[in-house]
């Protein structure tokens, strides 16, 4: 199968259209950032606390919000996430003025509000970790020394505690202590749990808290990393091609890709976190990668004995690499689409960033990086003419036209 | 098969077998460490443990703490002030303490007309070169020099690190990471821990234990006690009992009878009227026991406050001389008593800690992420395989083999280097496949061009590889460069992504060029004339 066989598109013909389109995209992104008063930062960069919970029953979001407000935690963002049926909730709490364990405050407030007062000696099997379960079980020792044989109580009950925690992982959340019936624990252990434990209203899936100082540090670190990697690319291109227009073209394309991707993410209302920055940095590599393939070909074609104008060479090179460009972009895109649809919440924005980046990066290799080399060349020729340097009578324009005529 | 090709095939097979063996052996070694079942772990378990998983996949806690180094400075300041004034008194001078002007400075008022040479001698003997001296209007101010201040802060952070390490070790966590980060930060990563509150309290607990004689109290009337305050006394709040609303206060002597440093060991125990109270028994060093025995003998029938982190835990009456053991009572849960004994054993923190960052991932979320990541990866890889085979037919299979080999080698490299696989790392794994296929595409497109230009298939293949080589190096170099910056920038999950990407790219140079070339040689090598190339 072949998609493109010896194509002869005149890509450079549309370079001015492309420049307008690029600027429009960049400006749209800037407007979105401006309207939203800056980028929407996740807690990695903004600071604050974010907790993911899974409830046994369908959670009443308004009730949860009221409980947290009563606890004096200020404005909280609560939203359902992933599939409805999972009863999962994401709670976002702002940076608190007073230092303290915000996660525990949130969990305590919710537990107090959502369940009847319970004997503090009982354990919550939706909150207890393996260690706590193992400790309590080995203190009570429901199976007795005879059943354990040689094994020390701690090891014996650690194994049982593990199966109970694993079961919780499978179910997502225990609805009642009777759910432990499905584990391999002995009847004595099961009845001990039913007598001494209860199922709290939710399981904590994850909790993240980032202080303001760390958020600020990460922000500047992220900017630094993006800036430094762009500079690194500049150095690489400069060394590799030893040519100013090529270097400038690649870097302008790179900055262009980054700006447009950030802008589109802002328009789509996506949050910026560490993982998105990782995707942006990957994009820096991908964008230059794509540009370099075209440049390499331009260089190679320039060395050929056949004398052609630079524009013709550029057009020819883009056409020659077109198949590869589309295929590689397509393959990477397939991977990213799979991650986008199946990878879960964390990888969703990551994959989206790359998907946008692949489209923009492919487009910019042709229309930004290559166009700049061509425009630079045209300008420097004009200036050379003014300086009365005799220009070899290369039939630039007519040849390009003739070539593109085949289209 | 020519000799050259035979050697190439042999090398590839050796690498492949070595990779699989390395992967499984690492897996067995890791699986054995936390295998709690009987006998040896099965193959399935070994495969699961071959690659170390990041906290976001296996669950656990990631903490960044800041050491309040100003605490250590203040402690040093108070100690130096006490030493110095005691020395001045010994010299027959009459110094009076003045409120300290800062965290790293103290001041003493010395009556005018005192012998300055005596003061200067005391300064030299007691304070040395760590302090700068200035005097104005009878008030002498001493300031820690910058190098001394830095040294004290540095020691405080190292000590805090050591103390935290001791506590975590006592608590029993497998493969913890406890490391200093920057000037005053400590990074703690505890895989597999699913009770964040307990661990956080355990680490943060300053555990500064002091036993002090009670002068007055307990009382709910703070004002009344405050009125009786003198410079050698202090007012302390009691740890609230459950259900208690008003705070209770004690007036105690500032100088402690003994502190946590005099402690040899501590153990949780049970006692109380019904044997249902959890408490902590402690045992003193010989030096501590001597001090304690003397003080308790002299103060029989008085109350002794057990002060933990400036809060009075309990204040039992001294019934008789006590030498080397004591009890800390309080309404503890079994876990609390256990953890308090643990921190007392592991030693006190030299300074307070604040949490700058904490991330907890529960085990079920991690397992869910793995499931999703793998599902997306398998589908993504299959889509790429299908696309490549449709597009390049037989040569497409060549690329598929190279990609699969790339995947196997990458997994082996991750396990052998002990790299950590994170959720973004799984995405990096996938992205590697997307980018590795790029090298194949670059070569195949070149071969097609050569064929179109009328070259014989053999020549087309050779030219295709040699002409694409420079570009392949370029494309790898650019992405590698950005991955290195990513590694520098990232912590945790993001760093895992960078590592996977870097390893994957390096491996793809081998698979997409060397292996793919060898496969072409194998398939078309024997025939002298190839009529058509399936590409």
Q: Is A154 on the interface with B (CB under 8 A)?
A: no
Q: Is A336 on the interface with B (CB under 8 A)?
A: yes
Query: What does the mean pLDDT of chain B come to?
Result: 84
- Residue ranges of B 323-362 with Cβ closer than 8 A to chain A: 333-335, 338, 354-362
Size of interface A-B (CB pairs under 8 A): 254
- Which pLDDT band holds residue A405 (cuts at 50, 70, 90)? very low
Tell me the nearest-neighbour CA distance from B242 into chain A, angstroms.
11
d(CA B212, CA B31): 50
Overall average pLDDT of the B271-280 stretch: 74
| Set of chain A residues whose Cβ sits within 8 Å of the Cβ of B358 | 103, 207-209
Q: Is B434 on the interface with A (CB under 8 A)?
A: yes
B344 or B14, which is more confident?
B14
B285-296 residue pLDDT tens: 888 888 888 888
Helix (H, G, I), strand (E, B) or coil at A296: helix
Tell me the nearest-neighbour CA distance from A277 into chain B, angstroms.
9
Overall average pLDDT of the A282-304 stretch: 89
Q: Residue A394: what pLDDT?
A: 43
Overall average pLDDT of the A250-277 stretch: 92
Q: Do B197 and A104 touch (CB under 8 A)?
A: yes
Long-range contacts of range B290-296, CB-CB < 8 Å, 24 or more positions apart? B291/B257, B291/B258, B291/B262, B292/B211, B292/B257, B292/B258, B292/B262, B292/B322, B292/B323, B292/B324, B292/B326, B293/B321, B293/B322, B293/B323, B293/B324, B295/B213, B295/B257, B295/B258, B296/B257, B296/B320, B296/B321, B296/B322
Overall average pLDDT of the B209-235 stretch: 78
Instruction: Give the gyration radius of chain B's Cα atoms.
Output: 35
Q: Is A341 on the interface with B (CB under 8 A)?
A: yes
pLDDT at A120 over 80: no
Nearest residue of chain B to residue A276 (CA atoms): B494
- A104, burial (CB in 10 Å: exposed 0-12, middle 13-18, buried 19+): middle
B18 or B332, which is more confident?
B18
pLDDT at B243 over 60: yes
Q: Is B448 on the interface with A (CB under 8 A)?
A: yes
Nearest residue, CB atoms, B433 vs list A103, A300, A335? A335
Share of chain A above pLDDT 70, in %: 94
B299's CB contacts (< 8 A; 6+ apart) are B213, B318
Q: Residue A396: what pLDDT?
A: 43
Q: Is A152 on the interface with B (CB under 8 A)?
A: no
B473-484 residue pLDDT tens: 988 988 888 888
ipTM of the prediction: 0.84
B98-139 residue pLDDT tens: 778 888 888 888 887 777 787 888 888 778 788 888 887 778
pLDDT at A403 over 60: no
Tell me the nearest-neighbour CA distance from B474 into chain A, angstroms.
7
Q: Residue B244: what pLDDT?
A: 66
B480-534 residue pLDDT tens: 888 888 888 877 788 888 999 999 999 999 999 999 999 988 888 766 566 667 7
B12's CB contacts (< 8 A; 6+ apart) are B405, B514, B515, B518
A305 or A264, which is more confident?
A264
pTM, to two decimals: 0.81
- Residue ranges of B 409-428 with Cβ closer than 8 A to chain A: 423-424, 426-427
Nearest residue, CB atoms, A210 vs list B357, B470, B490? B357
A80-116 residue pLDDT tens: 877 777 889 999 988 877 767 788 888 888 888 888 7
Q: Residue B398: what pLDDT?
A: 92
Share of chain B above pLDDT 90, in %: 18
Nearest residue, CB atoms, A158 vs list B36, B338, B368? B36
Q: Is B504 on the interface with A (CB under 8 A)?
A: no
Tokens read off for B334: 């079994």
Nearest residue, CB atoms, B437 vs list A207, A274, A328? A328
Long-range contacts of range B403-408, CB-CB < 8 Å, 24 or more positions apart? B403/B433, B403/B436, B403/B437, B403/B440, B403/B511, B405/B12, B405/B16, B405/B511, B405/B515, B406/B432, B406/B433, B406/B436, B406/B504, B406/B507, B406/B508, B406/B511, B406/B512, B407/B381, B407/B433, B408/B16, B408/B19, B408/B20
């Amino acid at each position: 199968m072949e998609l493109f066989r010896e194509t002869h598109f005149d890509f450079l013909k549309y370079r001015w259209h492309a420049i307008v389109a690029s600027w429009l995209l960049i400006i749209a992104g800037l407007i979105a950032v401006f309207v939203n008063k800056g980028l929407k930062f996740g807690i990695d960069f903004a600071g604050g606390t974010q907790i993911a919970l899974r409830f046994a029953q369908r959670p009443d979001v308004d009730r949860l919000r009221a409980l947290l407000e009563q606890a004096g935690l200020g404005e909280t963002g609560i939203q359902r996430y992933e599939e409805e049926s999972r009863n999962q909730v994401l709670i976002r709490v702002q940076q608190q003025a007073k230092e303290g364990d915000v996660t525990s405050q949130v969990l305590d407030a919710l537990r107090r509000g959502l369940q009847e007062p319970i004997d503090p000696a009982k354990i919550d099997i939706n909150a207890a970790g393996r260690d706590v379960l193992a400790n309590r079980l080995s203190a009570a020792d429901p199976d007795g020394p005879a059943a354990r044989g040689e094994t020390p109580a701690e090891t014996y009950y650690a194994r049982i505690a593990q199966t109970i925690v694993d079961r919780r992982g499978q179910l997502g959340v225990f609805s009642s202590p009777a759910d432990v019936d499905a584990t391999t624990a002995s009847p004595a252990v099961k009845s001990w749990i039913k007598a001494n434990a209860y199922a709290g209203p939710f399981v904590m899936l994850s909790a993240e808290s980032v202080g303001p100082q760390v958020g600020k540090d990460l922000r500047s670190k992220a900017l630094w990393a993006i800036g430094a990697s762009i500079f690194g690319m500049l150095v690489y291109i400069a060394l590799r091609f030893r040519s100013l227009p090529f270097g400038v073209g690649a870097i302008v394309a790179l900055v262009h890709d980054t700006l447009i991707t950030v802008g589109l993410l802002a328009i789509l209302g996506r949050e910026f976190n560490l993982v998105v920055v990782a995707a942006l940095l990957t994009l820096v590599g991908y964008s230059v990668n794509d540009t370099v393939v075209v440049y390499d070909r331009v260089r190679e074609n320039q060395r050929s004995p056949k004398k052609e104008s630079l524009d013709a060479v550029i057009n020819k090179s883009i056409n020659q690499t077109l198949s590869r460009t589309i295929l590689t972009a397509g393959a990477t895109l397939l991977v990213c689409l799979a991650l986008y649809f199946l990878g879960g919440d964390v990888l969703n924005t990551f994959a989206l960033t790359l998907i946008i980046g692949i489209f923009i990066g492919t487009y910019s290799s042709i229309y930004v990086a290559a166009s700049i080399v061509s425009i630079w060349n045209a300008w420097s020729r004009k200036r050379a003419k003014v300086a009365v340097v005799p220009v070899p009578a290369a039939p630039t324009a007519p040849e390009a036209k003739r070539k593109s005529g085949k289209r | 098969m020519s000799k050259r090709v035979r050697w190439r095939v042999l090398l590839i097979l050796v690498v492949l077998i070595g990779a699989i063996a390395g992967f499984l052996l690492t897996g067995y070694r890791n699986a054995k460490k936390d295998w709690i079942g009987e006998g040896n772990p099965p193959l399935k378990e070994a495969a699961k443990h071959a690659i170390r998983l990041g906290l976001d996949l296996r669950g656990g806690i990631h903490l960044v703490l800041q050491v309040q180094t100003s605490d250590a400075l203040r402690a040093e300041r108070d100690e130096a002030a006490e030493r110095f004034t005691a020395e001045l008194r010994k010299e027959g001078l009459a110094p009076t303490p003045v409120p300290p002007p800062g965290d790293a400075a103290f001041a003493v008022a010395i009556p005018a007309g005192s012998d300055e040479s005596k003061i200067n001698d005391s300064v030299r003997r007691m304070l040395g070169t760590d302090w700068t001296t200035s005097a104005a209007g009878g008030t002498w101010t001493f300031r820690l020099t910058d190098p001394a201040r830095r040294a004290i802060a540095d020691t405080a952070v190292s000590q805090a690190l050591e103390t935290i390490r001791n506590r975590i070790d006592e608590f029993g966590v497998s493969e913890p990471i406890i490391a200093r980060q920057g000037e005053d930060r400590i990074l703690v990563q505890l895989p597999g821990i699913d009770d964040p509150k307990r661990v956080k309290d355990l680490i943060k607990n300053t555990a500064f234990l002091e036993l002090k004689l009670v002068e007055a109290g307990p009382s709910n009337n703070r004002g009344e006690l405050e009125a009786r305050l003198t410079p050698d006394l202090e007012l302390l709040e009691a740890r609230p009992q459950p259900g208690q609303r008003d705070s209770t206060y004690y007036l105690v002597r500032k100088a402690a009878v003994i502190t946590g440093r005099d402690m040899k060991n501590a153990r949780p125990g049970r006692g109380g009227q019904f044997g249902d109270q959890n408490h902590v028994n402690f045992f003193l060093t010989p030096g501590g026991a001597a001090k304690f025995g003397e003080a308790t003998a002299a103060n029989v029938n008085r109350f002794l406050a057990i002060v933990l982190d400036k809060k009075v835990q309990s204040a039992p009456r001294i019934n008789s001389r006590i030498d080397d053991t004591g009890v800390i009572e309080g309404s503890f849960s079994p876990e609390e008593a256990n953890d308090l004994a643990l921190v007392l054993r592991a030693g006190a923190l030299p300074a307070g800690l604040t949490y700058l960052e904490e991330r907890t991932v529960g085990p079920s979320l991690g397992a869910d992420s793995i499931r999703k990541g793998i599902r997306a990866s398998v589908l993504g890889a299959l889509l790429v395989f299908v696309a490549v085979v449709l597009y390049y037919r037989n040569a497409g299979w060549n690329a598929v083999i190279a990609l699969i080999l790339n995947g196997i080698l990458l997994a082996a490299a991750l396990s052998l280097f002990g790299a950590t696989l994170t959720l973004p790392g799984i995405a990096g794994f996938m992205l590697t496949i997307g980018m590795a296929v790029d090298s194949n595409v670059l070569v195949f497109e070149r071969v097609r061009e050569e064929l179109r230009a009328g070259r014989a298939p053999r020549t087309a293949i050779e030219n295709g590889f040699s002409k694409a080589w420079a570009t392949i190096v370029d494309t790898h170099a650019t992405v590698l460069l950005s991955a290195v910056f990513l590694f520098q920038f990232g912590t945790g999950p993001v760093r895992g992504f960078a590592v996977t990407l870097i390893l994957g790219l390096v491996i793809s140079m081998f698979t997409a060029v060397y292996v793919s070339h060898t496969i072409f040689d194998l398939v078309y090598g024997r025939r002298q004339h190839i009529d058509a190339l399936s590409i």
